[in-house]
Amino acid sequence: MPADTLSATFAALADPTRRAILARLTSGEASVTALAEPFEMSLPAVSKHLKVLERAGLIARGREAQWRPCRLKADPLKDADEWLERYRRFWEESFDRLDEYLGEIQKQEKKRGGNGRTKEDNDARSK
């Protein structure tokens, strides 16, 4: 388990089963048995995942002996989101570059007098 909170959050999210458990908990609290159901997994295996999520502060568990429902605690995800926030302009920039590139292709098409359609498009239109 990583020492810092943000690393613990990201480590907990680095598993498809744990992400599926969190997704399930968005519709309300659930028992371990209910959480285990959709996965072909033993209860101890699911419990292990729940412990990782609980230590990362992503879920909390009820204190009733028989029924210890799990519920989502989304606050650590807010910190993860804030960390990602400052990288947003970088992926937006790469989309801008793609836009520029596509614009350039269209301009070249026009210069060549093409209509930007493929042979298949024209075949389809002539039917």
- Per CB under 8 A, which of residues 54..93 are in contact with a second copy? 72, 74-75, 77-78, 80-81, 83-84, 86-88, 90-91, 93
Tokens of 116: 């930007």
| Rg of the chain taking only CA atoms, in angstroms | 24
- CB atoms under 10 Å from CB of 42, counted, come to 10
Reference 57, options 73, 68, 80; nearest CA is 73
Q: Any residues with CB less than 8 A from the CB of 106 and at least 6 apart, and which?
A: 116
How far apart are alpha carbons 51 and 45 in whole angstroms? 10
**Shortest Å, Cβ 102 to a second copy:** 17
Question: Mask of contacts with a second copy, 4-43, x by CB under 8 A?
Answer: x-xxx-xx-xxxx--x--xx--x-----------------
Q: Nearest distance from residue 41's CB to a second copy, in Å?
A: 16
Positions touching a second copy (CB under 8 A) are 2, 4, 6-8, 10-11, 13-16, 19, 22-23, 26, 72, 74-75, 77-78, 80-81, 83-84, 86-88, 90-91, 93-94
